[in-house]
Amino acid sequence: MFAALLSRSLKSIGRYCAQRSVKMSTLWALMNTNATADPILHLLNMPLSLLVWGLLVLWAMSPLGGQSTIRLMYKANLTEISHPELRYWDNGPFGSMFTRTAIMVGNDGSWPLSMRDLYSSSLLQSTETKAGPVDQWANIKIPRIEAGNKTLATDDGWMPVKKSSQIEDFTSLFGMPVIGLSGVMKQGDVHFSVETSYIELSCGAFDQLEASGQLAGLSVRCTNCYTTLGKDNFIRAQKYLGLPADGFYANGKSFEYGNPDAEINPNNPNYTLPRTLRFNSTFNSEVSSTVCQITQRPVEAYIECIDRSCTATKIRQSTTDHRNENFTVMDYWGWKVLEMISATSSGSGTRDVIWGSSTSELFLNDSRTAPIQTGIGGIPDGVNMSTIDVDLFATRASILLNTGIQAFMAPTGFSGDLPSNNLSFYGDPHIPIHGLLTAANESMWQNYDANCYLYPSGVGDLVNSGAPFVGASSNATLTHYTEVYKPEYAWAVILIISTILLVAIGIAGICVRLKTIAPNMFDPVIGLSYGNPYMSLTGKDDDPLDADERANLLRDKRVQLGQVDDYKGVKAVFGEAGYVTPLRLGVPYH
């Protein structure tokens, strides 16, 4: 459209100039500029002039204007930042007190069989899932502190986490349940941090014991944990919860838990040293046994959810949780997890009933293979635990323990579909280390009016509400993107300029055409009819000169490029078909 309109307008301007006298070079340039390439050819074939350069600039607007129409706008994201509140599983002091109250006390020390099955299901996830950033139910897995790159640590302790392909890089086979995340992720990219803790083991070399009197399969027990109420257990439980333990109940508060006047020796190793776990695994007629010290590691993980895909990208030691690492959930109620793992991993050993190694043993032996034995081809060898590297065993065993703890503390939190419209259902907002302050004020803990065994009403209210677990809070950063169209200002300016020039030239062409009285004699086809003896219009001497009028008179005549013989030779002419004969191959025309 640009080329057609501009070419036509330039010809009108040229005819007007011809009426008023013009240089032949100027007229030629105006009449023979029909495309963008023509001004370039004029630069090569004609003397340089302002007109030629002006035509070049003018015609350059044709491709630029065409390109600007398709580049006038571009897609962009309109960014909005908000900070929605999320809740995640709290495995800190408040979460532990809730678990003991709701499950241990509420069920008189028993636990549902489904927890055992939940633990087993974690082991049966695919290898890719177990080594990936989320579990089978899309919960975000927390890396071990060793997975962080210490060389790239920031001043505030954050260490980037490499893209993992190792199951041992994570603390558990389960991820962290986060309430409300699935809905928030649909609105954009989400960034937030969670504070949590996990237990880790340090194991000694394996010993070989006689199988007599030992359970078949894998069994785990705490050799120096206290599973009944008493002073030692009370003190360690208080320290695990981060509560005062300088006295064993004040005077006048003599309950069934022990002597209120008992003195506490702070140097007593029972109060300070880490507890030990013994792992026994039967292989043939011997039992491989190792003793491991168990400690707790509080960490903070930074989570990024980009395009609805979540992963923990940074890890650091907790900056808020300063409890002694030697006190763990085993000092409160966690020994129940050992019972579950042992019950799940042990068998009667009767040949006609069951045989082979348990899923737990198979995982400890090789975390990257499916922990299943088929029995095809005969009875396979069992797992000889003593052949496993001790450090690798300690890492894998800690993963199993953390997985079992999660199965106890948040058994319904992994599969999702938990209510998220009322976050107070999971307790008041808090970080894990300060969770107990939301259930009772600090003076109640200091005065032992509430303690590890004497639960404040806040815990009971949460239990009775039917909450699946205690939810710590985190204010996420939600980056919401709205796709919009934005103008490309440079191309918009080019489009405006080219449009103005096109309209201006078009108007100028119309104006000069109205002022032009000279006939249009520049038509290239009709121009061949002027003074042509081989064409007749009206047979008169005053045939019209205007191209439109001549074309109207000649519209029914048949014309052709042909030849005539003028007795000087054969020449090629343009004329009516009745006056000329067709051209012939091989004839030299003049």
Where do the structural domains in the chain lie, given as residue ranges? 1-72+488-518, 81-482, 522-590
SS3 state of residue 195? strand
Q: What pLDDT was estimated at residue 254?
A: 47
**How far is 468 from 462, CA to CA, in rounded Å?**
9
User: Any bridge partners for residue 281, and if so which?
Assistant: 218, 288
Coil/strand/helix, residue 295: strand
Ranges of beta strands (E only) in 204-336 are 207-210, 216-222, 275-283, 286-306, 309-317
β-partners of residue 195 are 300
pTM above 0.85, yes or no: no
The pLDDT value given to residue 412: 87
The token duo for 365 is: 């032996």
Helix (H, G, I), strand (E, B) or coil at 406: helix
Q: Which amino acid is at 495?
A: L
Q: What are the backbone angles phi and psi of residue 455, rounded to the nearest 5°?
A: -80, 135
Quick one: tokens of 585?
């191959």
- Could you say which DSSP state residue 308 is in? T
Pick the closest to residue 277 from 358, 331, 196 (CA basis). Answer: 331
b/e per residue 479-509 (b: at least 16 CB within 10 A): beeeeeeeeeeebeebbeebeebbeebbeeb
3-state secondary structure of 477: strand
Rounded Cα distance between 581 and 576, Å, is: 10
Buried b (16+ CB within 10 A) or exposed e, 456-468: bebbeebbeeebb
Distance from C-alpha of 578 to C-alpha of 580, rounded to nearest angstrom: 6
Residue 252 has a pLDDT of 44
Q: What is the pLDDT of residue 241?
A: 95
Supply the pLDDT for residue 50.
86
> In whole angstroms, what separates CA 289 from the centre of its chain?
44
Taking the chain (590 residues) in consecutive chunks of 10 residues, what is each chunk's mean pLDDT?
Answer: 86 87 85 83 80 86 88 89 96 95 82 88 93 94 94 94 88 95 92 97 90 74 79 86 75 47 65 91 83 97 94 96 95 91 71 71 90 74 86 96 94 84 93 95 89 90 90 95 90 91 90 87 86 81 83 88 85 89 87
